[in-house]
Amino acid sequence: MSDIPQYHLVINGESCAPASGEYADVINPATGEVVGSAAMGGAADVDQAVAAARAAFNQREWREMPPAERSRLLYQCAQLVLANAQELIGLEISCSGATLNRASNLDIPAVADLWMNLAEAVKVYPFVEAQSPRPLPEQWHSQVWKEPVGVCGLITAWNFPLLLYSWKVGPALAAGNTIVIKPSEMTPTSSIRLTEILQEVLPPGVLNIVNGDGPSVGDAMTLHPDIDKISFTGSTRVGKIVQTNCATTMKRCTLELGGKGPGIVLPDADLDMVAQGSLWAVYMNAGQACESGTRLLVHEDVYDELLEKLAARSAEVVVGNPADPATGVGPMSTEAHFHKVMGYIETGVAEGARIVCGGEPAEVPGCEGGFYVQPTVLADVTNDMRVAREEIFGPVLAVIRYRTEEEALALANDSDYGLSAGIWTTDLIKAQRLARDLRAGSVWINDWHMMRTDAPFGGYKQSGYGRELGRYSIDSYVETKSVSMSFERVPQKKAMQRIVHTKMA
Ligand code: TXE
């Protein structure tokens, strides 16, 4: 018998094999080795998971749990994440190529913080709000109730499996929904394991996981008549399919899609800070983050000086085995993705960009089977090139020259995407003015990735819609109901009814 660990589906509180009996290898992108075997679900498994989630939703106990009790449960989820941190970190590294540094210092603390934040948010969330009373004697009074949407289908991507999982599962649970989640079939192990762990505190059927690919499990979910809401993180291409499928049953839908984050460098900026910060912006998770700063728009007066600093700092970045704490940049998630990123670098050069540093596959001793790309800076990029317009999703920075602020703003906004944008300057008044004109869901001034678990995150334009994180994320998982009570018991005094009953005394 093989000693490769198996990862199953979790339906109605039980781990189970998929109806097809099929399992697929999970590959460690750092080495190319098989690190797990994960159940590949299909439409029949989705049906079962949805039925379990619907039954759990119909049991009033879960959806009507008082906020204080739900808050305690969300705290317990945070504690379970922390208690199992080492195992989850190991799985995150081996399935997705996350660096040890990132998984331990960013992902796990942020995941635990997110659950704790929701535990606080749920206590004060306005599940019931009274409308302001009218002058007395009032004929009727109205309240606004926020109710769980129902069964939520959550679909996540491979770049931050545990974070994306928590961004969706946390608020969906906080609002009282039940869940069927599909992780990316490329990185399912940490999400499956966390689902198993959370069963300890959740009633059966509340949280189900069905791993599988997009065309089988993804489509089965987005077209399923008994799923009420879909929340999706992934490519804009698939986001459009998801939105179209959701329309068939008018499912609620939240989409967190790609980005092409522009950073505007004003001539007064501290160039050392920009060089370090803009490389953090693009190289975090080897560039495989939707909010990465991938286009750097640099004023002509400081263009050459900044390029020199970028090249020098970029060369210092340590590419290596993600499990090594000294590693700053790990591998591309898959071999196919590695080739895609290398292809973009070639395309950039063919279109007239100049490689200032990097541009080649990176050699990592001991990880010869891995998929590594050298941190790469491309100069002389213009905004019409593919490397400036399309999401490369690798450690590749496109540097674009501009002359005036108006031109910089126009270039920044000249994109199908609108997820993140940034400004590097010492003039914070000017920064606020520019921030107002940038068409992006997050604007960062003099740093990047400044995401908080209690601040909203999401896109403008083709970067999607809806907001995740904090109490705003609970808004995405509730329906709004207006409830009005009439106090007047004398029919003749119900003023509006005179519109029909015109003969009333
Ligand atoms: O994404 P997909 P891929 C971008 C990034 C990357 C590119 C392609 O530019 O290079 O997308 O990555 C599921 N119905 N982002 O191909 O296919 C799939 O199984 C329902 C940005 O991996 O969009 C996985 O769970 N679901 C992004 C999820 O969609 C379907 C993160 C994402 O995979 C489906 C990832 C279907 N028909 C990629 N087809 C971000 N916003 O951070 C696939 N999926």
Over residues 92-104, the pLDDT tens digits come to 999 999 999 999 9
Q: List the residue whose alpha carbon is closest to atom 14 of ligand 1.
A: 218
State the maximum Cα–Cα separation within the chain, in Å, rounded to a whole number.
93
- DSSP secondary structure code for residue 138 in this structure: P
| 311: Cβ contacts below 8 Å, ≥ 6 apart | 356, 357, 377
**Would you say residue 134 has pLDDT above 90?**
no
Sheet containing 229-233: which strands, arranged edge to edge?
14-16, 9-11, 207-209, 178-182, 151-155, 229-233, 252-256, 464-465
β-partners of residue 37 are 6, 25
262-445 CATH choice from 3.90.1200.10, 3.30.70.270, 3.40.309.10, 3.30.1490.20: 3.40.309.10
**pLDDT tier, 152 (very low <50, low <70, confident <90, very high otherwise):** very high
**Would you say residue 77 has pLDDT above 70?**
yes
6-257+463-482 CATH choice from 3.30.420.10, 3.40.605.10, 1.10.3210.10, 3.50.50.60: 3.40.605.10
**pLDDT tier, 136 (very low <50, low <70, confident <90, very high otherwise):** confident
Q: Are 6-257+463-482 and 262-445 equal in CATH topology? A: no
Q: List the residue whose alpha carbon is closest to atom 10 of ligand 1.
A: 393
Mean pLDDT of the chain: 97
What SS3 state is found at 75?
helix
The C-alpha atoms of residue 212 and residue 218 are separated, in whole angstroms, by 8
> Ligand 1 pocket check: which of 96, 155, 235 to mutate, most ligand atoms within 8 Å of Cβ?
235
**Would you say residue 269 has pLDDT above 90?**
yes
The C-alpha atoms of residue 117 and residue 470 are separated, in whole angstroms, by 7
What SS3 state is found at 67?
helix
Beta strands in 31-139 (DSSP E): 34-39, 128-130
**Would you say residue 148 has pLDDT above 60?**
yes
The pLDDT of residue 504 is: 77
Q: Report the run of H or E that residue 212 belongs to, with start and end.
A: none
Hunting for tokens 């929340």 — which residue is that? 231
What are the residue ranges of helices labelled H in 264-384?
271-283, 303-316, 335-350
Mean pLDDT value of segment 106-134: 95
Helices (H) and strands (E) counted in the chain, each on its own, are 17, 23
**Would you say residue 1 has pLDDT above 90?**
no
The pLDDT of residue 14 is: 98
- Please give the distance of CA 202 from its chain centroid, rounded to a whole number: 23
Exactly one of 77, 253, 290, 357 is catalytic; which is it? 290
Per the CB < 8 A criterion, the answer to whether 162 and 107 are in contact is yes
User: Is 335 a residue of the active site?
Assistant: no
Query: For the whole model, what pTM was predicted?
Result: 0.97
Exactly one of 92, 185, 256, 391 is catalytic; which is it? 256
359: region left, alpha or beta (phi > 0 left; psi from -120 to 50 alpha): left
Q: In Å, how far are 185, 255, 350 from 15, measured between CA atoms?
A: 17, 29, 51
User: Is 256 a residue of the active site?
Assistant: yes
The C-alpha atoms of residue 247 and residue 123 are separated, in whole angstroms, by 33
Boundaries of every domain in the chain: 6-257+463-482, 262-445
